Structure 1
Amino acid sequence: MRTFLAVAFTSALATLAAGQPAAPVPLFNGKDLTGWKAFGRLVKDGPTTPIDAKDTWSVTDGVLRCTGKPTGYLATEAEYGDYELTLRWRYPAGLKGGNSGVLLHVQKADVVWPVSVEAQLRAGRAGDIWLQTAAEVKLTVDPARRDADDKTKRHVWRSPKDEVVERPAGEWNDYRIACRGGSVELAVNGRVVNGGTDCNLTRGRIALQSEGTDVEFKDITIRPLK
């Protein structure tokens, strides 16, 4: 059965086809996990399976909270291509570090981690790109931003690499992710920090990572692009 969110996105596509700008569609309704499904790895190095989302993910006052355990992700049931995704995220005040990510063009085999393009959210490194995995995902980027120490060539540094672009723990950050054809562009707090072209993945699910620490999300929207 098609979810309400998928139907709304299809309606927005029709608006775009009619020559009118498409409005953003809520991908997270701020009330519950309609349109999303949770996966996790309950045992280290064990299989990834569907899990009861409420053990990891909860919604309070329009905020989607993740405990970070077990390792896994919350994925949309629908697939998307050619879109602008916007969301806000934060780590709890006082947390010295945090880790999560936004997985783009997630393919059908649900494992930790699925074939996808990861828009990194690890504290201090938001805007980096990880290819999950480089053997299956291709993306053309500036060679200077390839991580020279990453022998698998999966990691692409944001630019500027070491400049602070994130806000302190406890404050909300803004992510804007544009995927059009084979191109991917990442902007953190209004600043374009990474991107690439000629990606061999152009469509798939969207997922939020559960990766060991508390993290919160809100205002998750998606807007079709030509």
Structure 2
Amino acid sequence: MKKHFLLTALLFCAGAAAHAQSYSLFNFKDFSGWHMDVPAMDKDTSVKAPFIIRNGLLVSLADPQGHLITDSTYENYQLEVQYRFAAKPGNCGVLVHASTPRVLYAMFPKSIEAQLMHENAGDFWCIGEDIAVPDMEKRRGPKENWGTTEGKGRRILNLTDNSENPVGEWNTMKLECRGNEIKVWINGQLVNHGTNCTASKGSIALQAEGSEVEFRKVEITPLSKKKRK
């Protein structure tokens, strides 16, 4: 009886410890731990920031375009982002393994983007970094066009349709970045899985690009590099 109780207690403690590892990257009160990179704000101090906190939510206003980037870098983690297009559908994205700023179109940091764009959530976009998926030519286009810079085939289509909820409803994107692999789920459906990524760590960024998006959760869970068997 005592052994059974001890085992149960140990399992409970282990589970509690694992759960305790998850923490929010954003406090929804201010921008502590993050910085904005918005080219339009470089020389014009009158330009309003495209990221605000409103009614306890982080809001990307879409214009001017730019990124909200974590000050810290991360590797081997699961990221959960809850978001919605509250008014009208449009474009936005979550960038992982972000590093050198403005390597693409003088705005996008070197990274892999997990697309949030309405009806395209879960697409990969290669921004100075690269990643591989099965059926590459079917999902990325002719091989001779592949690349990670302007004018190249940087988009890798996701695996599913109809994974997103209707506009105005909340969606959950989960990303698992472990070693050189990235997996993406939308509302519980696996929508992309890439391997041989050319980066395995970096900052995390949210976009202002295309449409207003609200975020109510940005939570990270550290993972071990190797999968548990």
Q: State the TM-score, normalizing by the size of structure 2.
A: 0.79
Larger Rg: 2
Structure-2 change in CA distance of 1:113 and 1:50 (3 Å)? farther
| Residues 165 and 188, structure 1, Cα contact 8 Å, conserved in 2 | yes
Specify every segment of 5 or more residues in structure 2 that has no aligned partner in the other structure, as ranges: 1-13, 146-151, 225-229
Deviations 1:17-75 (A, max 9, x none): xxx525211101121111110111219xxxx7898996211112321011111111100
2:130 matched to which residue of 1?
138
Kindly report structure 1 stretches of 4+ aligned residues shifted beyond 3 Å.
48-54
**Aligned runs of 1:81-120 on 2, under 5 Å?**
81-93=75-87, 95=88, 97-110=89-102, 111-120=106-115
Specify every segment of 5 or more residues in structure 1 that has no aligned partner in the other structure, as ranges: 1-15
| Residues 112 and 130, structure 2, Cα contact 8 Å, conserved in 1 | no
| Residues 89 and 173, structure 1, Cα contact 8 Å, conserved in 2 | yes
Q: Could you say what secondary structure the match of 1:81 adopts?
A: coil
2:34 matched to which residue of 1?
36
Deviations 1:103-142 (A, max 9, x none): 1000133441111000001111000000003xxx221211
C-alpha separation in 2, matches of 1:104 and 1:61 = 27
Amino acid at match of 2:153: K
Number of equivalenced pairs: 197
1:4 matched to which residue of 2?
none
C-alpha separation in 1, matches of 2:101 and 2:185 = 28
Structure-2 change in CA distance of 1:53 and 1:173 (3 Å)? farther
Structure in which a larger fraction of residues adopt strand: 1
1:212 shift after superposition = 2.7
Structure in which a larger fraction of residues adopt helix: 2
Q: 1:225 aligns with which of 220, 223, 226?
A: 223
C-alpha separation in 2, matches of 1:123 and 1:109 = 25
Q: 1:211 aligns with which of 201, 209, 212?
A: 209
Q: 1:124 aligns with which of 119, 129, 132?
A: 119
| Residues 93 and 113, structure 2, Cα contact 8 Å, conserved in 1 | yes
1:55 matched to which residue of 2?
49
Identity of aligned residues (%): 35
C-alpha separation in 2, matches of 1:185 and 1:52 = 40
| Residues 39 and 51, structure 1, Cα contact 8 Å, conserved in 2 | no
| Residues 101 and 107, structure 2, Cα contact 8 Å, conserved in 1 | no
What's the RMSD between the two structures over aligned residues?
2.4
Structure-2 change in CA distance of 1:220 and 1:200 (3 Å)? same
Q: Could you say what secondary structure the match of 1:79 adopts?
A: coil
Structure-2 change in CA distance of 1:69 and 1:183 (3 Å)? same
